[in-house]
Amino acid sequence: MPSESTRERLTALFTDVGKHYQARDKATFEVHQGNDVHAFYRLTGNPTRVIHVQGYHGFSSGQEAYVWARLMDYDRMMASRSGGCSIGDEHGASVLQFPNFRYGTKIPYDAAVLMAKLEENVEALQE
């Protein structure tokens, strides 16, 4: 069974990234703990787009977070949820699978590292 501390560390990582983007008016954010930890960063410059980052606490360790990310259409994502789809399973709302996250990737629990990887795919997040 995965350690609760990996779930807490993923939540803290995703929250730190969200606070950074929110403070710079790049995105608003939500973090959800479910089977895995999910972060949704909704772009303020284009609110129809949201970045979904999923952290797999069962594949993460004390040193590294195992994460995956994609760009989604916000309206389609919310329509999926209203139709009974659970958070993180809104696959029909995907717009772009990020190449540097294609199969998931391990990163340190460092907000700067996650932000750099996201910004490779989403120019609107760059400073």
DSSP per residue over 89-109, as a string?
--GGGEEEE-GGGTT-EEEES
pLDDT digits (tens, 9 = 90+) for 6-62: 999 999 999 999 999 999 999 999 999 988 999 999 999 999 999 999 999 999 999
DSSP-assigned beta bridge partners for residue 105: 67
| 41 in Cβ contact with 29 (< 8 Å) | yes
Please report which confidence band the pLDDT of residue 2 belongs to, taking 50, 70 and 90 as the band edges: very low
Give the pLDDT score at 1: 46
